Structure 1
Amino acid sequence: MTDRTSTAADDDHVYLTLSDAAPGPEGEARWAYGTGFADPLLGVDTALPSGIDGADLGAYCLMLGDDALILAQRLTEWCTRAPELEEEVALANLGLDLLGQARQLLTRAGQADGTGRTEDEYAYWREEHEFRNVRLVETPNGDFAHCVARLLLFATARHELYRLLADHTDPVLAAIAARGVKELAYHREYATAWTLRLGDGTEHSAQRMQAALEAVWPLLDELFTPHAVELRLGVDPARLREPVLRELGAVIAEAGLDVPQTAPLAYVGGRAGRDGVHTEALGPLLAELQVVARAHPGATW
């Protein structure tokens, strides 16, 4: 994850990347704000705010960071496989946005929980049961409609969550969310546009889009199910259910499709992705994501 060849100048740190005014090489704002830094949180005051438990904040940042990391991996799998070259580039860029968020969130996790673990340690050296992402993001890509449906659900829900977190007590988490909400707005718009295009296209494309929604819809509920860590930090994702479902319903109706009525995917003994219980799809994904780091431990690039 880390670009070891980059050097961190005094004016090249996360405060700038979390600002609209962050200048790039040509004087324009960076589009992938989490990439190109030796330390994703260089220059940031990472002291824990009063009243925040470091273990809880670290665990929560790990949850959000894992969501972003795993979906970034899934999106980049579309390189050379998307219907058009333009969509390959678009999906890769969405993946880079999420990778940038993952870098900062995983780094914050290691600082907040006191372990000092780096983003690379979290990404490459944990086992499947140690990941805390929701199961929605790990589902196999399937066809392009499935990719669109998964992105629509995730981006819509995460956009609402980041709007909520932009006022969080932890200034680092709040800054990441405030910047990320703008990127998630585009991710949502991209998925919405393709949902409308496929749903209002041919009979075949509409059938494929409807089938994709039916496949991923049972995984949506997990995004609204509160975890004890979230509640202790003053974050209740159940508050997102109504606005997210309302927005998704409007998009689906405009596309001429039906809101799925399928039941949520069952938890295993009351546990799911946030507790390290995943689908069979996560293991192969991690094997591909981690193979180079584990084959060449300690290597830099």
Structure 2
Amino acid sequence: MSFDNVYAALTGDGDARWAFGTGFSDPLAGVEMTPADDALAGYCLMLGDDALVMSHRLQEWITRAPELEDEVAIANIALDLLGQARLLLARTGRDEDELAFHRDAAEFRNVRLAEIPGGDFAHLVVRLLAFSTWRLAVMDRLRLSSDTVLAAIAAKSVKELTYHRDYAARWAVRLGDGTEESHRRMRRALDEVWPYTADLFAADPVESAPFAVDPATVRAEFDQVIAEVLGQATLPAPPDAGKAVPRGEHTGALHPLLEELQSVARALPEATW
């Protein structure tokens, strides 16, 4: 990527590239960078993959958003998640570019919600609402992580994810309580997206560690927020999410997504970014 050191990418005077909610203050200033053991590295890899894959899906909407304002907002949300991915992948102690560009689909640990193919704008709104509501609840609790680096990353992420969830919620209400057609599309998007939300609360063994958050503990908050948004949007309760699929199992959509994401790095393996 464009910086030699991922943490150096978060500093700079007057740089406002993280416009959707945060600036470039260094979240790790004064935090001791202790080595990550295998369990912590594995947990950060999971969270980093979620952000990286979701970021790529959002970037696919550049030039496709309904208005210029949304073009900018979606691009900035994608950049926020890309920044989170860089911090988390770097926390594994491995090379972030190697992890992002030179792993096969079977090695990725993201939830399926992040990778499923995009649909219309209603589909984007429902997916982002579910993803940001869940991730915000997790990151909010991770601010108390026993790993001080992960806690600092989470504190920065909470500020960003609050804006992401608000953006998705406002659009959900606008579309759900809008025209007959927009309401119909939101209902269809709920049917398409919601089965994948079961995966969000299926705990991986590493999530029982003291530095992690058991996703089951955020379920009540997730359900409450979603119910409130859908109520204001005049949308029915989402369909039964069904059986959860553990991390490491993917849809057929991840392979072509990675082919696009990794194409330049794999075609020019000796290039300096």
Structure-2-length-normalised TM-score: 0.91
Residue matched to 1:194:
171
Residue matched to 1:90:
73
Match status 1:167 vs 2:140 = no
Moved over 6 A (4+): 32-36, 40-43
Mapping 1:1-301, distance limit 5 Å: 2-4=1-3, 13=8, 17=10, 24-25=13-14, 31=19, 45-48=32-35, 54-109=37-92, 111=93, 117-233=94-210, 234-265=212-243, 267=245, 272=246, 274=247, 276-301=248-273
Q: Deviations over 1:247-269 (max 9, x none)?
A: 101100110001112332553xx
Q: Deviations over 1:33-64 (max 9, x none)?
A: 9999xxx979853214xxxx710100000000
Q: Are the structure 2 counterparts of residues 247 and 34 from structure 1 closer, same or farther at C-alpha, using a change threshold of 3 Å?
A: closer
Conserved? CA contact 1:34–1:100, under 8 Å: no
Q: CA deviation at 1:166?
A: 0.3
**Share of identical aligned residues, percent?**
51
Conserved? CA contact 1:41–1:107, under 8 Å: no
Aligned-residue CA RMSD (Å): 2.6
Conserved? CA contact 2:137–2:222, under 8 Å: yes
Q: CA deviation at 1:31?
A: 3.8
List alignment gaps of at least 5 residues for structure 1: 112-116
Q: CA deviation at 1:83?
A: 1.5
- How many aligned residue pairs are there? 270
Distance 2:48 2:142 in 1: 14
Distance 1:297 1:32 in 2: 32
Q: CA deviation at 1:201?
A: 0.5
Distance 2:161 2:201 in 1: 17
Q: CA deviation at 1:135?
A: 0.3
Distance 2:5 2:14 in 1: 14
Q: Secondary structure at the match of 1:215?
A: helix
Distance 1:193 1:134 in 2: 24
Distance 1:41 1:293 in 2: 28
Q: Are the structure 2 counterparts of residues 198 and 68 from structure 1 closer, same or farther at C-alpha, using a change threshold of 3 Å?
A: same
Distance 1:34 1:288 in 2: 28
